[in-house]
Structure 1
Amino acid sequence: MVNFVKPRYTSSKIRSAGKRIVKGKSTTEDNKVLENFRGSHAYILNTFQANIRNHSKGIATSVGQRLKRRNTILDKLAREPSMPLASMHDIAGCRMIFEGIDDLQRVRASMHSARWKHSLTHGPQRFDYIESPKITGYRGIHDVYQYAVNSIGGRPWNGLKVEIQYRTLPQHAWATAVEVADLITSNRIKFADAQTHYLRYFQLSSEIIARTTEGQKSCCSELSDIELKREFQAADRRLGLLQTFDNLRGTSAKRLKFKRNTILIFRFDLRADEEALELRTFENVNRAIEAYDDLEREFGEKADIVLVRGESEENIRDAFRNYFSDARAFVDFMRDGLEVL
């Protein structure tokens, strides 16, 4: 039986530690607080992934889960200084991918009607980025649940939050391409912090995919089909990203074996002939969390490191395809969409 990490600190202690860490004034104790707070979310991830699989069985094409990496937590705190660490709602994240919007909405409605004590922290439209896409072009729906149970065994984790992401295959392909572009161009597109031409590229591509695959609009709804196609083609001639994505194969991952707890290490500091992706696998989730913290300290900014959990190798590949540099689905949707416009 897995002995999951239990929360050890009060909200005020977590809040204070987060503030000092962001300011560069952290103590050894502050870092222990952060590591415990993040690690304690593994338990609710385990609980929610089981619930999600029950609600989405036979409907979702893939289900995955992940703990937010330490550097990403600190980056978010720096970008949103008014948000306390204790209130961060996406340290634990589960993601479901669907063939289409109807399936997505069907499973989301099932989740909302579930007979459990876990509660949504917001109204149903708060994080609906299909109805109201982000300025970056991101589309999908997020729900945030606050964990709540009556059982003695589960009570220590009451109050922690988990973010559930719902995406269709086209929406996931676009988000995958953004992740890969961020890795290979050192941009920050998903945070609207990219160079203007990269940000515009993905705004346009989001609009093309939304119109041609789902009959919807995204963040460039004011453009006609002709204007949209011409501007995107000019942007791709300048950046060449479609060809770059098409050339990325992620073949190294095919030879690697996964376990239920897998750490993906995407190296930035290697020669062209060296493998960029390394995997560390663990049967025990607590051992994986300890190794995760050690690896982030070891690599610093020289690698993108993420801990993922799934039921199978294929499940992890599908839900976290960006870490295998596989944006070919995006290329296919875009080339088909350009033919349609």
Structure 2
Amino acid sequence: MTSDSFAVVPPVQNEADYLDFMGPMTEYPRLAYSMKAVRKVGDQLAKPIQFGRDITVGHYVDTLEIFSIANSWRDSHFLPMRSVRFSVGHHMRTLRLKGDMASRPKRMASIRRKLRESTTNLDTMDDIGGCRAIMADIKGVRSLLASMRENFPHEIHTREFNYIDEPKPDGYRSHHIVFKYRPKNADTEAFEGRRIELQVRTRLQHSWATAVEAVGLFRGQDLQHGKGEQDWLRLFQLMSAEFALVEQCPVHIGVPDHNDRVRELRDINKRIGATRILEDIQNLTHYPENFVRSTEKSRYYLIQYGGDHSVTIEPYRTLMLGARTLEEIEKKIELRGIDVKAVLVEVDKVEKLVEMYPNYFGDVSLFARKLKSICTEKAAIEYSLAP
């Protein structure tokens, strides 16, 4: 089944709704440095950064300047990121598609890892600003994509990455589109060409991707990038194929057929106790459960995941206030080596925070249920949103 099967009449964006969502354009940070400085800093971020007691004052000042330039470049993606977020959400609402949206600026640690391990440069990185649309089912994914191709205010950059119909070898499945921001007027010309990545996936695909991250966080392994225990990597590869089967999507070449997959999944689960470990992740991840009631008027949340599996959530009224705090925490992570992961996210409602970013809260319940059902001879069924 192709995306063309779900051709729709493209919705027209209402300017008043857009301006109400975005707020004053002048409040969004502009890049305070030259592009030459951004490119130079990208080269420096890819290298190890010295920290500790032996660092000189001059070297410390130079390092702070590196992060200042990198943060200014990241901050200049805030307006384009929110503009893309609004437009995607508008398509979802107009088409009456069930799903949710979230967005986040890329973590500095992730930016540095990508600069080290790929050929990309800081000034050409596609996902410094990222949006995520989690749809109820595969039909919703394809309908949304078809609609955006017909009418979207920003340009699709190069090609799309269809990891749903062409899953990655590790089992990752999602559809990625990179948009280049088109300014609406002279007030937003400074942001022209900023690249924002949109990920569109189903609930089932989301449960897989976030379970990979949650297990990696809990066990201190970078499973997301193929580094860690082979049994876990294989389990996720096989579970991805089972989910693809349920959604009637292609399975990666080389993965065994359904019966052999199920037998191997049961063997792995018995050997490593995967279902028990998934339950431990849920039980041993601690966060204040009353944060939903105390942050009703916020849209932006700074999530910190500590080495002791504790989670803290700080609400912010504006994206910029949260960004300043994030930058200070990231300096401590990079220069002092503190054991914490921090991310600044935007969700429409606080109740959606755990649902959209379950990896930080140890919420692997959907994935765990599917694995358990497979290991007890029950077929996986596609997850759909409750009414």
- Displacement after TM superposition at 1:111 (Å): 1.2
Query: Which structure 2 segments of 5+ residues have no match?
Result: 1-22, 50-61, 381-387
- Displacement after TM superposition at 1:315 (Å): 2.6
Match of 1:152 in 2: 186
CA contact (8 A) 1:63 1:315 kept: no
Change in CA separation of 1:215 and 1:115 when aligned onto 2, cut-off 3 Å: closer
Match of 1:260 in 2: 299
> How far apart are the structure 2 equivalents of 1:288 and 1:328?
29
- Displacement after TM superposition at 1:191 (Å): 1.1
| Alignment length (residue pairs) | 331
Change in CA separation of 1:115 and 1:138 when aligned onto 2, cut-off 3 Å: closer
Q: TM-score with structure 2 length normalisation?
A: 0.81
Over aligned residue pairs, what C-alpha RMSD do you find?
Answer: 2.0
Tell me the SS of whatever aligns to 2:312: strand
> How far apart are the structure 1 equivalents of 2:347 and 2:242?
32
- Displacement after TM superposition at 1:29 (Å): 2.5
Q: TM-score with structure 1 length normalisation?
A: 0.91
1:14 and 2:38 are equivalent in the alignment: yes
Match of 1:50 in 2: 86
Change in CA separation of 1:335 and 1:217 when aligned onto 2, cut-off 3 Å: farther
Moved over 6 A (4+): none
Query: Which structure 1 segments of 5+ residues have no match?
Result: none
> How far apart are the structure 1 equivalents of 2:226 and 2:140?
29
Change in CA separation of 1:337 and 1:209 when aligned onto 2, cut-off 3 Å: farther
Match of 1:79 in 2: 117
Letter in structure 2 aligned against 1:67: P
1:321 and 2:355 are equivalent in the alignment: no
Q: Deviations over 1:43-90 (max 9, x none)?
A: 11221111111011231421111111111110111111x211101110
- Displacement after TM superposition at 1:340 (Å): 2.4
Q: Deviations over 1:175-194 (max 9, x none)?
A: 11101011011222221223
The counterpart of 1:34, out of the listed 70, 83, 88, is: 70
Match of 1:302 in 2: 339
1:100 and 2:137 are equivalent in the alignment: yes
CA contact (8 A) 2:286 2:310 kept: no
Change in CA separation of 1:48 and 1:242 when aligned onto 2, cut-off 3 Å: same
1:242 and 2:275 are equivalent in the alignment: yes
1:1-341 matched pairs, under 5 angstroms: 3-24=27-48, 27-57=63-93, 58-80=96-118, 82-116=119-153, 118-123=154-159, 126-211=160-245, 213-219=246-252, 222-247=255-280, 248-249=282-283, 252-256=287-291, 257-258=294-295, 259-268=298-307, 270=308, 276-299=310-333, 300-338=337-375, 339-340=378-379
Tell me the SS of whatever aligns to 1:142: strand
> Identity, % of aligned pairs?
24
Match of 2:54 in 1: none
Letter in structure 2 aligned against 1:267: G
